[in-house]
């Protein structure tokens, strides 16, 4: 079996961690692209020089030329800027849409057969734009947000219950923003509903159990902002990188994991021709299936709210000429 090749577009905070994680897992050879001269070359050289210590055999190279991504099996995109003080949402949208358009043209031309995972924000709009400009089929183009949002939710649940996070399963659907939908009813610890475990912890006090769950849901929704506030100079980068690697691994190793993915919906959840965070099976054919969960009325209306928020951003992007 020949080695796989992953191209990382954007060699900033997330791009660097992605390169290191992919190398440590020996998932693929790595090409790190950035428009900043020498920086991707420096980062990949630094990671490669740890290969003896960590014991990995992959090739790592940095580049400023899209041609070097030719033959990539998978591309992960983090090119784009985080919001700066004084920048309006439209300003960020315009700046990152311009970058994403360039990136989509470069990837479409040089790696048209690759699977693509977009991480750049605003996520749902950037995935939509990337697919439109690159022309790469919908089932091969997806966004990472839900794996991270779900991991955050799971982490908070594990801390609250004092149980291993390894046994927590929790899923977050919808757009990547304040309207995301953490699915409380489906959250469980090795099959035991979290709601039940909370009631046990609070000795049958249903109100207290609900209050604690509501607080975890709220913390999940603003978890990205919590990290930004602490870091002061940027946004989360370790956890988004880990999340995208889990998706890449599921595709390249045909694991068929059911992961919350920003995927193209064709009728599912009442959405047609639209990207949204939904549970999807990721395997050798990319997004192989979108799973439609049965939702109760509250969950449905929360998801509808999220869909409207995503539609607004995508609409704004189109209004701005993208
Ligand atoms: P940062 O460290 O600024 O890296 C971005 C990189 O993109 C920089 O190295 C830039 O030089 C590079 N870049 C700029 N323009 C281009 C271009 N035209 N072509 C190629 N590269 C370019 O940011 P980061 O790595 O911390 O975050 C990257 C993106 O991910 C941002 O848009 C964040 O908002 C977003 N993000 C998303 C999540 C999700 O879960 C969806 C989480 C955290 C961050």
Residue of 235, 262, 275, 313 with the most ligand 1 atoms within 8 Å of its CB, for mutation: 235
User: Does 100 lie in the same domain as 179?
Assistant: no
Domain with 80 in it: 5-143
* pLDDT above 80: residue 143: yes
The partner residues of 58 in beta bridges, in order of sequence, read none
- Distance of alpha carbon 231 from alpha carbon 236, whole angstroms: 8
- In total, how many domains does the chain have? 2
* pLDDT above 90: residue 88: no
Instruction: Kindly indicate the confidence band of residue 64, based on its pLDDT and cuts at 50, 70 and 90.
Output: very high
Q: Mean per-residue pLDDT for 15-35?
A: 98
User: Does 98 lie in the same domain as 109?
Assistant: yes
The partner residues of 61 in beta bridges, in order of sequence, read 31
Q: Is-contact 138 242, C-beta < 8 A?
A: no
Q: Mean per-residue pLDDT for 24-48?
A: 98
User: Does 269 lie in the same domain as 210?
Assistant: yes
User: Which of these three, 143, 163, 197, is where a domain ends?
Assistant: 143
Instruction: Kindly indicate the confidence band of residue 82, based on its pLDDT and cuts at 50, 70 and 90.
Output: confident
User: Does 267 lie in the same domain as 207?
Assistant: yes
User: Which of these three, 125, 143, 161, is where a domain ends?
Assistant: 143
Q: Mean per-residue pLDDT for 13-23?
A: 98
Which atom of ligand 1 is found nearest the CA of 148? 40
Task: Tell me the per-residue pLDDT of 106-128, one tens digit each, with 9 for 90 and over.
Answer: 999 999 999 999 999 999 999 99
Q: Mean per-residue pLDDT for 77-105?
A: 87
Residue that has been written with the tokens 């977009």 in this structure: 118
* pLDDT above 70: residue 144: yes
* pLDDT above 90: residue 84: no
Q: Which stretches of 20-134 are assigned E, i.e. beta strand?
A: 29-33, 60-63, 74-77, 115-118
pLDDT value at residue 253: 98
Which atom of ligand 1 is found nearest the CA of 99? 18
Question: From residue 284, how far is each of 105, 149, 248 by CA, in Å?
Answer: 24, 24, 10
Task: Tell me the per-residue pLDDT of 270-288, one tens digit each, with 9 for 90 and over.
Answer: 899 999 999 999 999 999 9
Distance between Cα 164 and ligand 1 center (Å): 32
* pLDDT above 90: residue 87: no
The three-state secondary structure class of 9 is: strand
First to last CA, the chain: 41
Q: Is 216 in the pocket of ligand 1 (CB under 6 A)?
A: no
pLDDT value at residue 89: 67
Task: Tell me the per-residue pLDDT of 191-243, one tens digit each, with 9 for 90 and over.
Answer: 999 999 999 999 999 999 999 999 999 999 999 989 999 998 889 999 999 99
Residue of 12, 13, 106, 233 with the most ligand 1 atoms within 8 Å of its CB, for mutation: 12
* pLDDT above 70: residue 85: no
- Give, as one character, the DSSP assignment of residue 185: T
CATH number of the CATH domain containing 248: 3.90.110.10
Whose CA is closest to atom 30 on ligand 1? Answer: 120
pLDDT value at residue 38: 98
Q: Is 122 in the pocket of ligand 1 (CB under 6 A)?
A: no
Q: What percent of the chain has pLDDT over 90?
A: 92
With CA atoms as reference, report the closest residue to 285 among 145, 109, 141. 141
Q: Is 149 in the pocket of ligand 1 (CB under 6 A)?
A: no
Whose CA is closest to atom 28 on ligand 1? Answer: 78
CB atoms within 10 A of CB 217: 19
pLDDT value at residue 167: 98
User: Does 297 lie in the same domain as 245?
Assistant: yes
Pull the structure tokens for residue 148. Answer: 């991270």
Q: What is the mean pLDDT of the chain?
A: 96
Pull the structure tokens for residue 283. Answer: 């395997």
* pLDDT above 90: residue 49: yes
Q: Is-contact 178 221, C-beta < 8 A?
A: yes
Distance between Cα 296 and ligand 1 center (Å): 36
User: Does 69 lie in the same domain as 209?
Assistant: no
Q: Cite the DSSP H helix spans in 51-122.
A: 51-54, 89-110
User: Does 274 lie in the same domain as 255?
Assistant: yes
User: Does 270 lie in the same domain as 234?
Assistant: yes
User: Does 129 lie in the same domain as 219?
Assistant: no
**Angle formed at CA 245 by CA 28 and CA 214, multiple of 5 degrees:** 175
Q: What percent of the chain has pLDDT over 70?
A: 98
CATH number of the CATH domain containing 80: 3.40.50.720
Q: Enter the pTM of the model.
A: 0.98
- Distance of alpha carbon 213 from alpha carbon 57, whole angstroms: 44
With CA atoms as reference, report the closest residue to 64 among 10, 14, 136, 124. 10
User: Which of these three, 116, 143, 170, is where a domain ends?
Assistant: 143
User: Does 301 lie in the same domain as 153?
Assistant: yes
User: Does 127 lie in the same domain as 35?
Assistant: yes
Task: Tell me the per-residue pLDDT of 148-199, one tens digit each, with 9 for 90 and over.
Answer: 999 999 999 999 999 999 999 999 999 988 899 999 999 999 999 999 999 9
Handedness of CA 309, 266, 277, 117 (dihedral sign): negative
User: Does 314 lie in the same domain as 212?
Assistant: yes
């Amino acid at each position: 079996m020949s080695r796989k090749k992953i191209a990382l577009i954007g060699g900033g905070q997330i791009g660097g961690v992605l390169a290191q994680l992919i190398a440590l897992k020996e998932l693929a050879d790595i090409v790190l692209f950035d428009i900043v001269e020498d920086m991707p070359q420096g980062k990949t050289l630094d990671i490669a020089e740890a290969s003896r210590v960590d014991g990995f055999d992959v090739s790592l190279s940095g580049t400023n030329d899209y041609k070097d991504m030719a033959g990539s099996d998978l591309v992960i995109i983090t090119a784009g800027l985080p919001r700066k003080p004084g920048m309006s949402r439209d300003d960020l949208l315009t700046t990152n849409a311009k970058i994403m358009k360039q990136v989509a043209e470069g990837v479409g031309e040089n790696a048209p057969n690759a699977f693509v995972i977009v991480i750049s924000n605003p996520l749902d709009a950037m995935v939509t734009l990337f697919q439109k400009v690159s022309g790469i089929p919908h089932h091969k183009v997806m966004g990472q947000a839900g794996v991270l949002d779900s991991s955050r939710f799971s982490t908070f649940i594990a801390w609250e219950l004092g149980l291993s996070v390894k046994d927590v399963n929790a899923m977050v659907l919808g757009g990547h923003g304040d309207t995301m939908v953490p699915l409380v009813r489906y959250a469980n610890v090795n099959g035991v509903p979290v709601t039940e475990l909370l009631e046990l912890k609070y000795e049958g006090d249903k109100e207290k159990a609900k209050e604690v769950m509501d607080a975890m849901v709220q913390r999940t929704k603003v978890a990205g902002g919590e990290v930004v506030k602490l870091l002061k100079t940027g946004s989360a980068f370790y956890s988004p990188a880990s999340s995208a690697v889990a998706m890449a691994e599921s595709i390249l190793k045909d694991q068929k994991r059911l992961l919350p993915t920003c995927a193209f919906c064709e009728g599912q959840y009442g959405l047609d021709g639209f990207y949204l965070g939904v549970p999807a099976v990721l395997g050798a054919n990319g997004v192989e299936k979108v799973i439609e969960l049965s939702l109760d009325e509250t969950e449905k209306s929360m998801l509808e709210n999220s869909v409207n928020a995503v539609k607004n951003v995508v609409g704004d992007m189109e209004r701005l000429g993208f």
